[in-house]
Structures are given as structure tokens and as C-alpha cells.
Amino acid sequence: MAPIRLHDTRSGKLRDLVPGPGGRVGIYACGPTVYDRIHVGNARPFVVFSLLRRFLVHEGLAPRLVINVTDVNDKIYVAAAARGVPSAELAAEMTDAYVRDTDKLGLGRPDAEPLATETIGPIVALIGDLIENGHAYAAGGDVYFGVRTYSAYGELSHRELEDLDQGEERDRKRDPLDFALWKGAKPEEDIAWDAAWGRGRPGWHIECSAMAEAELGVGFEIHGGGSDLVFPHHENEAAQTGAARGWDLAQIWMHNGMVRLEQEKMAKSQGNAFALHRALEEFGAETLVMYLCGGHYRQPLAFSDERLAEARARCAGIRDAVRRLPPGPTPSEVSLAGDFFAALAHDFNTPAALAVLAEQLRRLSTAGAGRGVLSEMLEVLGLETLLVSEEAPPEVRALAESRARAREERDWTAADRLRDEIAAAGWTVRDGPEGPELVPA
Ligand SMILES: [Zn+2]
């Protein structure tokens, strides 16, 4: 098996993935903050890391994917107050919606989905350890991490201490570089926990350090998330765990690029299709997953009509090719499985894998060979549903039967009208050697 190489943000290089005993690959990806429905940009890491897990299983490894839910956060307090509901109620509602929406992608669930509010014990214990070893200090009900106490600070995001701005305004800090591990309760915040240094709630960064350690230990294989999280979120996670445990949180830090909403390029009716549930209604799971696979995970990806139309056409092309190819195993001299999985082993290059898949379809068609290898490829891309040919609904089948009768009676006007009605319902009639066939338009 060729080594699997992934780009590591900390070293800025491709690194070999070194699995643990028994092929274990722990993956922790930062999940959503549940203050609103998630959008396609939030869905990208869910898709990238769910598909990476499928690939690792294909390679005979034993991945364990953890995607957390941040259910206590400033944004949740603010959004709940604006709606006049308790923050725990809003967080629970949006967590349910997130699970429902991501379920519809058809990729299954992560192996664990810890909630910050269910990890308060380990979070408080980790903060206690940092205070004890001198990397953190309590101040007026808050607790801060002393950035200058940790010499490796800035290594992950490649920043100099002088350039840092934590984006926090708390005046109890000893140093403006420091960041909050615990925030003392404010009167307008309706949820808080007791701790030795005062009643309050955890900061976002310490939540992830504690959840990752609780699920995967420290020194696990891959820590992932969007590239917008490299600083300060992941820099701070790395510092907290490094300072408390004397060990790197993760071996490879893997970041996906942003999805860019090109509002002006989207048709007006699709302007709000950026919300995942709307995008799923508008385009369907196959098109969305294909769209996300169409860009390399590290690159930014435009959310535009053109890219989505391209993804839809690719799905239709594969489904069409599958329909024409005989079932059964693919002879090895025609199979491109080696190239396909080698593309994924090289920094999970899904667009390169899709190019191999397109070439594979051409080869199979030319040779009239069995399509077996396609299921292996499509399964890893989360697109195995393309193997199942879609059956037209009964009313469309009835129209097709009427058209066949009209043609037998040489009533071409009626046949043409029925063909147009079938097209209006989203189907095309193809008159093949085995009689008329309905395919999605
Ligand atoms: Zn996180």
C-alpha cells in the first residue's frame, strides 16, 4: 500500500500518515457552533472528513472520526436573547437541525459527536491542571492562558507574538496576548457552571482541547477543521494541550478551504440556497457532495450556479454510464482503481480522483466491460447512490406508455406532445434497441 500523505499546516509540508496500533487513525474535526442552521461552508469539513474516513477504511485502516458540537458560546447567548428563548433551548433546537441536515447528505454519522455542555468535568479539570503548572491564572472570576509561558506559541499558525490579536476584550488579562479559558458569568447569560475560581462557562478553545482528549487521547493522528480556525482557535488548542500534557495534541493539522458565496452570480431564487437544508432541497445530496468533491479540499470553492450545474451534470453522466454498462467485475487490465486511490492517497485529491473516474467510464464504455470497480470508487466519494438507476414515477411511466402506443399508431403529433409532457416532468424518453427507456433529464 502506498503511504497516505496529507498536508500538515504546522510543518507546511506533506506528511506521511502514521497510523497507531491496529491501524488506528484518530480524527478530530471542529464542528458547528449551534446558534443557527448550518450553511454549505460548515458542511464542507463534515463532508471532507466523513469521506476521508471512508477512504481510510478502504485502505484497511481503523479510523475514528470525532466531530464536536459547540453548544455553549457567546453567539448562542446573543442569538437566544434576540429570539427571547433560553440559550439551552436554542442550542438543543439547532443541534437537532444540524443532525437532521447533515443526515440528508447520506454519509452517515461521525463515530462520536461530543457536546461541550456534556464535557464540563474534563474541561474544568484541564483548566485546573494549567493553573497548577503555571500556564494559566484566575483573575476576577475569569481564567486566562498566559501565552508567553508557552514557547511554542505561534508555531501552528506561523505567527510572531507581536502580530497576535485574540479578538477578545477582557480587561482582567495580565497581557493582551492572553486568552480566556473560563469566562465569569455575566447577568445576561442564562447558563453557567460552578468551578473553584468562580461560576461561569468555558471558552471555546478549551472545550475542543478537552473534548478531543476525552475521545481520542493526546497525540492522535489528524486534527481538522476550516482554514479560518487555524488562528486563534487551533493555535490555542495546541497551546493548551501542549502546556498541560507536554505532548502535541495531534500529529497532522489538516485544514479545508472556505466556500465562497458568490451572491451576485447566483440566480435570485437561489440566493438563500447557501443554508444547507435549502441547498439540499434545491440541488439534492448527490449534487452537493459531487460539488464539494470537485474542488481540492485545501482550496477555496465558489458556491455558484456554474459549479453546481457542473456537479449535477457529472452525476447525471455517471448515472447514465452506469445504466449502459453491464454489471459484474471489471477486468484488471481495464481497471483504474490503482490510479483512483493513489490520487486520494496524495493529499486526498478528490478532483484528481474524479478525473480518473471519468477516464474509467470511457474505458469501460469502449471495452463494454463490467462496472464493478465503479462501486468501489463511488462508495469512497459518498456517491454510491449513483449506481442505483432511478425509476420514473408511475404517472411518467403512464405517459411513456401512451407515447409508445401513439408511435405504433403513427400519430406523431400525439407522440411529440407526450414527449414534451414527459420532459416537463423532468424525464427523457430514449428509444433504444430494447424499447423506450426513461432517464432523468
Ligand atoms: Zn474546535
pLDDT 10s digits, 386-405? 988 677 888 888 999 999 99
Question: What share of the chain in percent tops pLDDT 70?
Answer: 96
C-alpha 430 – ligand 1 centre gap (Å)? 51
**pLDDT tens-digit profile of 197-209?**
999 999 999 999 9
C-alpha 21 – ligand 1 centre gap (Å)? 26
How confident is the model over 150-161, as a mean pLDDT? 93
Which grid coordinates are listed for 200?
Answer: 461561569
Out of 136-145, 165-174, 240-249, 418-427, which region has the weakest mean confidence (pLDDT)? Answer: 165-174
Out of 29-43, 273-287, 425-439, which region has the weakest mean confidence (pLDDT)? Answer: 425-439
C-alpha 106 – ligand 1 centre gap (Å)? 24
C-alpha 32 – ligand 1 centre gap (Å)? 9
Cβ distance 206 to 126 under 8 Å?
A: yes
pTM: 0.88
pLDDT of residue 182: 97
Look at residue 162 and tell me whether its pLDDT is greater than 80. no
How confident is the model over 103-113, as a mean pLDDT? 97
Look at residue 237 and tell me whether its pLDDT is greater than 90. yes
CA distance 128 to 133: 9
Reported as a pLDDT band with limits 50, 70 and 90, residue 266 is low
pLDDT of residue 368: 93
C-alpha 69 – ligand 1 centre gap (Å)? 9
Reported as a pLDDT band with limits 50, 70 and 90, residue 17 is very high
Reported as a pLDDT band with limits 50, 70 and 90, residue 430 is confident
Cβ distance 15 to 8 under 8 Å?
A: yes
**Cell match 478532483: residue?**
351
C-alpha 233 – ligand 1 centre gap (Å)? 6
C-alpha 187 – ligand 1 centre gap (Å)? 26
C-alpha 71 – ligand 1 centre gap (Å)? 12
Mark the residues whose beta carbon lies below 5 A from ion ligand 1: 30, 208
Look at residue 269 and tell me whether its pLDDT is greater than 60. no
C-alpha 156 – ligand 1 centre gap (Å)? 14
C-alpha 68 – ligand 1 centre gap (Å)? 8
DSSP, res 325 = S
CA distance 115 to 68: 6
C-alpha 212 – ligand 1 centre gap (Å)? 9
C-alpha 205 – ligand 1 centre gap (Å)? 6
**pLDDT tens-digit profile of 365-393?**
999 999 999 999 999 999 999 988 677 88
CA distance 244 to 9: 22
C-alpha 230 – ligand 1 centre gap (Å)? 10
**At a CB cut-off of 8 Å and minimum separation 6, what does 236 contact?**
145, 179, 205
Cβ distance 438 to 392 under 8 Å?
A: yes
Read off the amino acid at residue 316: A
pLDDT of residue 287: 96
Beta bridge partners of 223: 28, 253
CA distance 166 to 426: 52
Q: What are phi and psi of 179, to 5 degrees?
A: -130, 160
Read off the amino acid at residue 126: L
C-alpha 206 – ligand 1 centre gap (Å)? 8
C-alpha 70 – ligand 1 centre gap (Å)? 8
96 compared with 267, residue with greater pLDDT? 96
C-alpha 299 – ligand 1 centre gap (Å)? 20
Question: What share of the chain in percent tops pLDDT 90?
Answer: 81
